[in-house]
Amino acid sequence: MGNKGLCGAPCFHFSECKIEKSRKWNAHIVLTYILSAAIVATLLVAFLCILKFRKHKVVNNSEVDQSGARWRRISYYEIQQATDRFNDGNLLGVGSFGRVYKGVLSYGTNVAVKVFNLGLEGAFRSFDAECEILRSVRHRNLTKIISSCSNMDFKALILSYMPNGSLERWLHSEHHGLSMIQRLNIMIDVAEAMDYLHNGGSVPIIHCDLKPSNILLDEDMVAHVTDFGIAKLLSGDDSITQTMNLATIGYMAPGEFLI
């Protein structure tokens, strides 16, 4: 008497016991949580497997690119069509050994076509140097070479197109400006590119002409070092002395061009 928590069979005038029902309800909740956790874990494992597969696929594609197996040969006629017969309206810039044009290949890819002026002294050597270096390096902060076109009368490199142009344009134009964060990011990008050239391969590479006009910015404002026409491979003891006086107009020490 007076024990309100007492329960039992209704025939004995006790209130109905709900312990068993409550246990069943708790078991149902536990089972639901277990199944939900199992589903989430399965989805997570599947996602990690897909991510690992895609990463492995990207690595394999990079290896194929380095071997040149998938490089597409581009003819002079295709370059001529892509640049609208080297129309001045597609001119991106003029360098020491030639001109750079924007081009659109037949399958819609935007490219930069660097056409060497073979009448200039050193143009053949510059073309050979860029081919030698760009075919053996791969880094997110270096300009990617897509293909080349070469014969006795015409030499050109087909490079990735950088929609935001050169760093020089952003530093010296009234219509463009860089925030401090963007400047720091560009300096880090260039420093990583230089570290890769100096220490990332079996033979150190010295750019010899690092300046704002030779740093290009992609659609995400990521910096890419370009123009390896006078770069040097330090494969011998006397190569260091050969780099001391190399540069073109506008060259500044790497740490100064963003100040």
pLDDT, tens digit (0-9, with 9 covering 90-100), for 118-131: 999 889 988 998 88
- Please confirm, yes or no, whether 189 is among the known catalytic residues: no
Residue 109 shares a structural domain with residue 175: yes
Question: 3 or 254: whose pLDDT is higher?
Answer: 3
User: Which of 8-12, 81-85, 251-255 has the least mean pLDDT?
Assistant: 251-255
Residue range 51-61: average pLDDT?
50
pLDDT digits (tens, 9 = 90+) for 217-255: 999 999 999 988 888 887 665 444 444 445 455 555 544
Catalytic residue selected from 88, 209, 227, 237: 209
Query: Beta strands 205-206 and 155-160: pairing type?
Result: unpaired
Instruction: Report how far residue 93's alpha carbon sits from residue 110's, in angstroms, rounded to the nearest whole number.
Output: 16
Mean pLDDT over all residues of the chain?
79
Which phi-psi region, left, alpha or beta, contains residue 148 (left: φ > 0; alpha: ψ -120 to 50)? beta
Instruction: Report how far residue 170's alpha carbon sits from residue 209's, in angstroms, rounded to the nearest whole number.
Output: 19
Instruction: Report how far residue 177's alpha carbon sits from residue 221's, in angstroms, rounded to the nearest whole number.
Output: 12
Residue 92 shares a structural domain with residue 188: yes
Q: Is 4 annotated as a binding residue?
A: no
The two structure tokens encoding residue 222: 């990521």
The two structure tokens encoding residue 20: 């068993």
Residue 107 shares a structural domain with residue 154: yes
Residue 51 shares a structural domain with residue 147: no
Confidence of residue 67 (pLDDT cuts 50, 70, 90): very low
The overall longest dimension of the chain from CA atoms, in Å, is: 116
* pTM as predicted: 0.64
Residue 132 shares a structural domain with residue 233: yes
Amino acid 257: pLDDT: 45
Residue 125 shares a structural domain with residue 183: yes
Sole residue written with tokens 């404002």: 221
Structural domain boundaries, residue 118: 76-242
Question: 60 or 251: whose pLDDT is higher?
Answer: 251
Instruction: Report how far residue 120's alpha carbon sits from residue 156's, in angstroms, rounded to the nearest whole number.
Output: 14
Amino acid 34: pLDDT: 80
Q: Which residues, listed in sequence order, are joined to residue 99 by a DSSP beta bridge? A: 94, 115
Structural domain contains residue 176: yes
